[in-house]
């Protein structure tokens, strides 16, 4: 499996806080059958470290060490918080797409439905700039009209990424509805801290395989993530 969304790069956001827990989390990932991981620290203005050069240096050191100890390939990207400055930040190379390709991970605020149009105009601009916008974990947003909003994202060409643990928590009904309606293009871990997310990746794989068949789970967990990683059409 290929995971395009996780917060394992240590001490840069609300994910793993130090090397030891990051190493153990990735060792779990290997045991779950994951071969490639894009590390996607949050890019949120004024909240986390936003200096790209500092982050990339830290990433390169971490990647070298992990790849020498585990059978895993690491890549870099950001989970980008939707923000009016985001198009400019991308243009001026202050934050990252997934593995330097056209695909980017975009997160909306979980609530604040009243500001949705404002945030949505940022997504429109990113699409106009030619980026392939992946909306993270649509099943988790707390909007009364969530499914209308999700259809708007799809209509304008966004791609939807489900969090695998949503199949086992309070977001399960939303997750299953989106899978039933074939609106999800990929499943990722959004792993933060060991024993919280990666441990269910294989269970999610099995559940989706049982419900929708082997071809579908391959598409969502391997084929589409691989195409995103390698910057090909999905
Ligand atoms: Fe995330």
- The pLDDT tens digits for 137-177 are 999 999 999 999 999 999 999 999 999 999 999 999 999 99
What is the Å distance from ligand 1's center to 6 Cα? 6
Q: What is the pTM of this model?
A: 0.95
Q: Report residue 193 as tokens.
A: 């801290």
Task: Supply the pLDDT for residue 194.
Answer: 62
Q: Tally helices (H) and strands (E) across the chain.
A: 9, 9
Q: How are beta strands 73-76 and 103-107 bridged, if at all? A: unpaired
Q: What is the DSSP letter of 102?
A: S
What is the Å distance from ligand 1's center to 168 Cα? 17
The single residue listed with the structure tokens 């589409």 is 224
Task: Please state, as a whole number, how many other Cβ atoms lie within 10 Å of the Cβ of residue 192.
Answer: 16
Alpha-carbon span 117 to 188, nearest angstrom: 27
Q: Report residue 163 as tokens.
A: 């969090």
Q: What mean pLDDT comes out for the span 114-136?
A: 91
List the beta bridge partners of residue 92: none
| Contact assessment for residue 108 and residue 135, using Cβ atoms and an 8 Å cutoff | yes
What is the Å distance from ligand 1's center to 194 Cα? 14
Q: What torsion do the CA atoms of 14, 20, 24, 25 make, to the nearest 10 degrees?
A: 10
Q: What are 61-78's pLDDT values in tens digits? A: 999 999 999 999 999 999
What is the Å distance from ligand 1's center to 148 Cα? 23
Q: What are 76-99's pLDDT values in tens digits? A: 999 999 988 999 999 999 999 999
Measured CA to CA in angstroms, residue 27 lies from 18, 67, 80 at distances of 14, 11, 26
Displacement of CA 222 from its chain's centroid (Å): 14
Q: Which fold has domain 2-229?
A: TIM Barrel (3.20.20)
Q: With left for phi above 0 and alpha for psi between -120 and 50, is residue 29 left, alpha or beta?
A: alpha
Q: Provide the pLDDT confidence category of residue 199 given band limits of 50, 70 and 90.
A: low
Residue 38 has pLDDT above 90, yes or no: yes
């Amino acid at each position: 499996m290929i995971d395009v969304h996780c917060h394992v790069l240590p001490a840069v956001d609300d994910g793993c806080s130090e090397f030891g827990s990051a190493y153990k989390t990735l060792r779990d990932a290997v045991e779950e059958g994951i071969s490639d991981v894009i590390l996607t620290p949050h890019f949120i203005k004024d909240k986390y470290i936003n200096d790209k050069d500092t982050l990339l240096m830290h990433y390169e050191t971490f990647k070298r060490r992990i790849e020498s100890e585990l059978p895993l390939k690491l890549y870099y990207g950001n989970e980008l918080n939707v923000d009016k400055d985001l198009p400019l930040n991308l243009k001026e190379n202050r934050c990252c797409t997934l593995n330097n390709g056209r695909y980017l991970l975009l997160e909306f605020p979980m609530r604040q439905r009243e500001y949705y149009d404002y945030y949505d105009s940022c997504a429109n601009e990113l699409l106009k700039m030619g980026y392939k916008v992946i909306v993270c974990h649509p099943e988790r947003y707390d909007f009364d009209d969530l499914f209308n909003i999700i259809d708007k994202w799809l209509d304008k060409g966004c791609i939807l990424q489900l969090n695998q643990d949503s199949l086992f928590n309070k977001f399960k009904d939303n997750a299953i509805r989106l899978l039933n309606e074939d609106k999800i293009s990929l499943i990722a871990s959004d792993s933060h801290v060991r024993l919280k997310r990666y441990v269910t990746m294989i269970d999610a794989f099995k559940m989706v395989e049982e419900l929708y068949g082997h071809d579908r789970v391959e598409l969502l967990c391997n084929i589409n993530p691989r195409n995103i990683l390698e910057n090909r059409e999905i």
